[in-house]
């Protein structure tokens, strides 16, 4: 132990246990522990032993009772050397004169170095320099030596002063730290003294003088609120020496330069500091409803030398936003308007040594709509007559030889007219009824739906969000007149599937139009198939079957029908002729929206009045009437 107190614990029931303390149990000749017995006491030399019993644990405390202060002259009961106590102790625990436990303690305790004694209560009073001269001899600049021409320097001997007595510094610097001031009545001079000086002079002692605090240049420190901003790594009087690898990059406002990053737990931290010379690639997901604008790019970055660098920003456009969007299985029923969002930002910091020379930022923007359809996105389909409402509207994507058996599928994309097809193998002995059924089955496999979504976020549980597909069945061969038993010829084969989708602009959000699907119609075009024989008629022929998609855009409101005048007199049609007579008075019509209609009407009437007035005054009879009225 190295202190005056030590605590140990005795485990078990201590009600019948006798504790004792022994001093110096090591034999000095042999260096072995002396024979211990249970007849000792709880005090040995300057040491005491105290026991605090408990239920199953007892606290044993060994403490030193002597003084540990270093000896002062003519003092007793103190430590003569810094290493004050070097002793060996042994604590014994006995039950019925039988030792059940023992503890060996080696104590090396140094003297206490704190001062104990009488402290003088006399304190040096430093006068307030705002009301006292800084020093009685300001020219005394060298300690322990005489300053030449400083006659108030007490270190200058009289013999030395005789060398510059006639050239001593004058004024406050020379020791006249409290000279009479000009406003004092006793300091009246004979030169440049106005007549009213005796009425305005000051009667005062030199203790109240304007020279007090002449050398005191105090500064007013305004209280500042505590800030959690991290200070730059600067030292007083020295510029910033640059970044080290891993140091956070600072901004002009003495804040961290932060961008969204992933933490060690995998979560996205919105304001994570950017470390110097530490590259990273972070991908964070954000809900569209809680989206906020991108990072501010007007913040200037500390280069590392105290200068600040402006970010060079370049904007790009994202055309394919699918790789940036993670859609849920059930889209929200509420419409979220279109907005221009920031999908990605790439930061490139060019460094040289410990400093940042340039920072380039590439911002990728895109338009995100979760209400109407977007051009190039799949058309939403549903099979509301089945338990699983999910449906599909597809086209063929032939591969290899272009056969229908090996063709894959691709979804119908909104706003893009498409045409696809595949080849179906047909033999010369093909039954026409079976051929019609086979072709119809192939074409119907592209449309596994009963309804088409009006919007891109149509809800499966809301029937008003869907339009029913209008089907025009193919030609019924049973009701047709038979073409006879001609081998290799089949009529009314529904080889072409026509999908017509009617769309319209139903509104706009922030200048971006919202488009919806109003109706969908499916029809078939029939052909007459005839087998073509080559050298032989044994090889099968190929029947091409196609599927086309056409988007027809209609106006949101029906157009105003043309009048009979517009139909018959086309020379007055402004869309067909270079000269448009109806627009002669365009500012006075309701189509002009540059100014309020009332102002346009008032200006037009004023202009008409001026024209009429000019026409009247230019008429000869007006001049004759005017001249007669003057006579």
Q: Using pLDDT thresholds of 50, 70 and 90, give the confidence band for residue 412.
A: very high
Question: What is the pLDDT, as a whole number, of residue 333?
Answer: 40
The contacts of residue 318 (CB under 8 Å, 6+ apart) are 324, 343, 344, 364, 365, 366
What six digits make up the tokens of 596?
Answer: 């309020």
* CA nearest to 469, candidates 453, 457, 456, 455: 453
The contacts of residue 112 (CB under 8 Å, 6+ apart) are 68, 69, 70
Is the confidence at residue 470, as pLDDT, over 90? yes
Mean pLDDT, to the nearest integer, of 171-187? 78
Question: What is the pLDDT, as a whole number, of residue 485?
Answer: 54
> In terms of C-beta distances under 8 Å and separation of at least 24 residues, what long-range contacts does 346-355 make, across chains too?
347/259, 347/274, 349/249, 351/276, 351/277, 353/242, 354/241, 354/242, 354/243, 354/244, 354/304, 355/242, 355/243, 355/303, 355/304, 355/305
pLDDT in tens, 490-523: 888 898 999 999 998 887 765 667 888 999 999 9
Q: Which of the pair, 244 or 319, is modelled with greater confidence? A: 244
Q: Using pLDDT thresholds of 50, 70 and 90, give the confidence band for residue 118.
A: low
Mean pLDDT, to the nearest integer, of 83-95? 85
| Cα radius of gyration (the chain) | 53
CA dihedral (460, 461, 467, 469) positive or negative: positive
Mean pLDDT, to the nearest integer, of 386-410? 86
Q: Using pLDDT thresholds of 50, 70 and 90, give the confidence band for residue 487.
A: confident
Is the confidence at residue 235, as pLDDT, over 50? no
* CA nearest to 513, candidates 319, 375, 327, 349: 375
Q: Using pLDDT thresholds of 50, 70 and 90, give the confidence band for residue 334.
A: very low
Q: Do the Cβ atoms of 226 and 145 come closer than 8 Å?
A: no
pLDDT more than 70, % of the chain: 77
Is the confidence at residue 74, as pLDDT, over 90? no
Per-range mean pLDDT, top range of 52-66, 489-503, 576-590: 489-503
The contacts of residue 8 (CB under 8 Å, 6+ apart) are 59, 60, 62, 91, 103
Q: Which of the pair, 216 or 236, is modelled with greater confidence? A: 216
pLDDT in tens, 364-391: 887 666 566 878 888 989 988 888 888 8
Q: Do the Cβ atoms of 304 and 354 come closer than 8 Å?
A: yes
CA torsion, points 148, 150, 155, 156, in degrees to nearest 10? 60
Is the confidence at residue 242, as pLDDT, over 50? yes
Per-range mean pLDDT, top range of 60-74, 409-423, 428-442: 409-423
Is the confidence at residue 234, as pLDDT, over 50? no
Is the confidence at residue 214, as pLDDT, over 70? no
Question: What is the pLDDT, as a whole number, of residue 510?
Answer: 56
> ∠92-96-97 over CA atoms, to 5°?
50
Instruction: Read off the DSSP letter of residue 166.
Output: G
What six digits make up the tokens of 159?
Answer: 């013999």
pLDDT in tens, 555-568: 877 778 877 877 77
Q: Give the Å distances, CA to CA, from 31 to 26, 87, 103.
A: 6, 14, 17
Question: What is the pLDDT, as a whole number, of residue 284?
Answer: 79
Question: What is the pLDDT, as a whole number, of residue 521?
Answer: 94
Mean pLDDT check: name the lowest of 285-289, 414-418, 432-436, 511-515.
Answer: 285-289
Q: Which of the pair, 465 or 568, is modelled with greater confidence? A: 465
Question: What is the pLDDT, as a whole number, of residue 417?
Answer: 93
- Point out which residues pair with 18 in neighbouring strands: 94
Question: What is the pLDDT, as a whole number, of residue 519?
Answer: 93
CA torsion, points 403, 406, 412, 416, in degrees to nearest 10? -50
Q: What is the mean pLDDT of the chain?
A: 78
Question: What is the pLDDT, as a whole number, of residue 468?
Answer: 93
pLDDT in tens, 335-346: 445 567 788 888
Question: What is the pLDDT, as a whole number, of residue 419?
Answer: 92
Cα–Cα distance for residue pair 423/401, rounded to 1 Å: 8
Is the confidence at residue 221, as pLDDT, over 60? no
Question: What is the pLDDT, as a whole number, of residue 328?
Answer: 47
Is the confidence at residue 482, as pLDDT, over 50? no
Q: Which of the pair, 375 or 214, is modelled with greater confidence? A: 375
Question: What is the pLDDT, as a whole number, of residue 232?
Answer: 46
* CA nearest to 137, candidates 149, 126, 125: 149
Mean pLDDT, to the nearest integer, of 12-21? 84
pLDDT in tens, 181-209: 777 787 766 566 777 777 788 887 776 66
Mean pLDDT, to the nearest integer, of 277-294? 73
Instruction: Read off the DSSP letter of residue 610.
Output: H
* CA nearest to 398, candidates 208, 275, 545: 545
Residue 188: count other Cβ atoms within 10 Å of its Cβ. 11
Is the confidence at residue 469, as pLDDT, over 90? yes
Is the confidence at residue 99, as pLDDT, over 80? yes
Question: What is the pLDDT, as a whole number, of residue 101?
Answer: 86
Mean pLDDT, to the nearest integer, of 547-556? 90
Question: What is the pLDDT, as a whole number, of residue 121?
Answer: 54
- Order the strands of the 18-23 sheet from edge to edge: 18-23, 83-95, 98-110
What six digits make up the tokens of 369?
Answer: 């709509």
Side-chain half-sphere CA neighbours of 353 within 13 A: 7
What global pTM score does this model have? 0.40
pLDDT in tens, 594-631: 788 788 888 888 988 998 888 888 887 777 777 777 65
């Amino acid at each position: 132990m190295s202190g005056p107190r030590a605590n140990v614990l005795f485990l078990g029931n201590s009600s019948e246990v006798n504790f004792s303390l022994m001093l110096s149990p090591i034999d000095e000749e042999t260096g072995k522990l002396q024979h211990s017995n249970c007849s000792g006491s709880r005090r040995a030399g300057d040491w005491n032993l105290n026991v605090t019993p408990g239920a199953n644990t007892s606290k044993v405390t060994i403490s030193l009772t002597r003084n540990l202060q270093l000896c002062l002259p003519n003092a007793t009961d103190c430590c003569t050397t810094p290493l004050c106590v070097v002793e060996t102790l042994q604590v014994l625990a006995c039950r019925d004169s039988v030792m059940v436990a023992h503890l060996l303690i080696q104590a090396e305790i140094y003297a206490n170095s704190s001062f104990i004694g009488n402290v003088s209560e006399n304190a040096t009073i430093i006068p307030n320099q705002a009301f006292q001269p800084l020093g009685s001899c300001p020219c005394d600049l060298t300690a322990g030596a005489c300053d030449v021409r400083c006659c108030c320097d007490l270190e200058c001997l009289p013999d030395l002063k005789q060398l510059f007595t006639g050239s001593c510094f004058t004024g406050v610097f020379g020791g006249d730290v409290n000279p009479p001031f000009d406003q004092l009545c006793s300091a009246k001079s004979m030169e440049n003294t106005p007549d009213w000086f005796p009425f305005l002079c000051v009667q005062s002692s030199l203790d109240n003088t304007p020279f007090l605090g002449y050398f005191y240049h105090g500064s007013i420190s305004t209280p500042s609120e505590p800030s959690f901003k991290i200070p730059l790594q600067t030292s007083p009087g020295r510029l910033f020496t640059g970044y080290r690898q891993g140091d956070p990059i600072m901004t002009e406002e003495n804040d961290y330069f932060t961008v969204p990053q992933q933490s060690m737990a995998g979560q996205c931290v919105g304001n994570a500091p950017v470390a110097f010379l530490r590259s990273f690639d972070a991908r964070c997901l954000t809900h569209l409803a809680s989206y906020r604008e991108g990072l501010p790019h007007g913040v200037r970055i500390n280069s590392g030398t105290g200068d600040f660098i402006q970010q060079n920003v370049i904007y790009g456009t994202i055309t394919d936003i699918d790789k940036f969007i993670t859609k849920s299985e059930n889209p929200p029923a509420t419409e979220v308007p279109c907005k221009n969002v920031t999908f990605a930002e790439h930061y490139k910091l060019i460094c040289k040594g410990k400093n940042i020379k340039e920072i380039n930022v590439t911002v990728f923007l895109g338009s995100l709509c979760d209400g109407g359809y977007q051009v190039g996105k799949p058309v939403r389909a549903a099979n509301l007559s089945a338990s699983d409402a999910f449906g599909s509207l597809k086209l063929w994507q032939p591969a290899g030889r272009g056969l229908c058996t090996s063709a894959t599928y691709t979804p119908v994309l909104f706003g893009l007219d498409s045409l696809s097809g595949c080849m179906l193998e047909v033999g010369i002995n093909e039954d026409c009824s079976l051929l019609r059924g086979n072709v119809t089955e192939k074409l119907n496999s592209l449309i596994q739906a009963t309804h088409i979504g009006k919007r891109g976020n149509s809800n499966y549980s809301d029937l008003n969000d869907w339009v029913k597909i209008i089907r025009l069945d193919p030609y019924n061969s049973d009701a047709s007149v038979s073409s006879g038993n001609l081998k290799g010829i089949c009529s009314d084969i529904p080889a072409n599937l026509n999908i017509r989708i009617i769309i319209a602009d139903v509104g706009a959000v922030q200048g971006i139009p919202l488009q919806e699907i109003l109706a969908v119609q499916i029809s078939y075009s029939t052909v007459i198939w005839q087998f073509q024989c080559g050298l032989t008629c044994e090889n099968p022929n190929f029947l091409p079957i196609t599927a086309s998609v056409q988007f027809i855009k209609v106006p949101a409101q029906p157009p105003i029908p043309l009048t009979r005048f517009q139909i018959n007199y086309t020379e007055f049609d402004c869309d067909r002729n270079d000269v448009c007579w109806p627009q002669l008075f365009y500012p006075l019509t309701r189509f002009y929206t540059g100014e309020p209609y009332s102002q346009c009407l008032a200006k037009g009437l004023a202009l008409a009045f001026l024209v009429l007035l000019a026409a009247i005054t230019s008429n000869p009879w007006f001049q004759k009437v005017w001249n007669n009225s003057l006579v």
